[in-house]
Amino acid sequence: MGRPLRIQYPGAFYHITSRGNEKKDIFLRDKDRKKFLSILEDYHDRYRILIHCYVLMKNHYHLVLETPLGNLLKVMHGINSAYTGYFNREYDRVGHLFQGRYRAIAVDRDAYLLELSRYLHLNPVRAGMVDRPEKYRWSSYLGYMRKSDELSWVKYSLVLSQCGGNWEKSRREYRLFVEKGLEGEAANPLGELYGQVILGTEEFIERLRDLLLGKKMSQEIVARRKLKGQPAPEEILRTVADAYGEDLVALKERRRDHEARKVAIYMMKRYSGLSNCEVAEHFGGLHYSAVTKTCTRLALSMDRNKELRKHIQAIMSKVKT
């Protein structure tokens, strides 16, 4: 599996998730949760991060944090390393505690922060751990409800300001907003991700795409083509059709040993950023598994046939420009 893209810039907002290795619990006792919160407080002070929301589950945690200094990588490496060190010492173990790399979704705060905070605070309810979010001790929700439960290092003001009015009214409105989610009115905002790593409006997505233009991205990075401005599927089809003297309808027809069609499938899979199912839809209801098979077989043919490889590479150069 490809490594997730890290979008890092000053003032960025993120939804962070990190899970236990092999889905194992990372919090065994209240002592562990208290330690993790103390690490968050320490990194808030040391690296000037702003933590807007958190929830500690059994085998994972969620954060909504802001990085005024654009130092996400340093912050998250430090938080997970510090807690892993504590956990390994406490339970006389060695090795990785977390499963791979944490997930960091760049968030458009104006459009999604309020919804995202509700989604996080309702996690324990969705998991069946409690029937109401205020009954769960290990989230930032209690601080949103009562001033007496606020933590000095959690920034409640930004979310509450989106509820309007004075602080007392904002807390009341926010509670009502969250409780509507208990009635099934809250959709999962993470279902609206772009390129698996951005949650925001079209304008926000374009701003981040502009930010990433010209920056080198690892070939392992998930959704890199979407973020760097991939060619549209129809553009790919037209380029391949022109190279073979075919029309678009012919490319989409299911014909045996149709080289142009195979190349079009290969190019669309390689450069469009679409899933196998999405690619298949452009070729007359082709089964998604056939997309992978077609690409694999064509790649083998290119290895064996120098002329075919040169021809396809020439088409690639046109698709990428």
Residue-level pLDDT at 40: 97
Residue 313: its pLDDT value, please? 86
pLDDT value at position 185?
A: 61
pLDDT at 186: 65
20 vs 59: CA distance, rounded Å: 5
Gyration radius of the chain's alpha carbons = 24
Cα–Cα distances in Å, from 308 out to 223, 259, 313, 315, 317? Answer: 28, 10, 8, 11, 14
The tokens of 53 are what? 């929301």
Q: Hey, CA dihedral for 64, 210, 228, 241, is it positive or negative?
A: positive
Mean pLDDT of 78-97: 95
Q: Are 54 and 139 in contact (CB under 8 A)?
A: yes
pLDDT of residue 2: 47
CA distances to 4, 9, 38, 44 from 69, rounded to whole Å, are 21, 7, 21, 12
- Arithmetic mean of pLDDT, 149-165: 92
Question: How far apart (Å, rounded) are the C-alpha atoms in residues 182 and 180?
Answer: 5
Q: What is the pLDDT of residues 266-312, one digit of tens each?
A: 888 877 767 778 888 888 777 878 888 888 888 888 888 889 888 98
The pLDDT score that the predictor gives to residue 136 is 97
Average confidence (pLDDT) over 110-123 = 94
Cα separation, 26 vs 271, in Å, equals 38
The pLDDT mean for the chain works out to 86
Q: What is the DSSP letter of 14?
A: E
SS3 158: helix
- % of the chain beyond a pLDDT of 90: 48
Helices (H), 48-186: 72-90, 109-121, 123-126, 141-145, 157-161, 167-182
DSSP calls for 181-209:
HHTT----GGGG-BTTTEES-HHHHHHHH
Does position 218 have pLDDT exceeding 70, yes or no? Answer: no
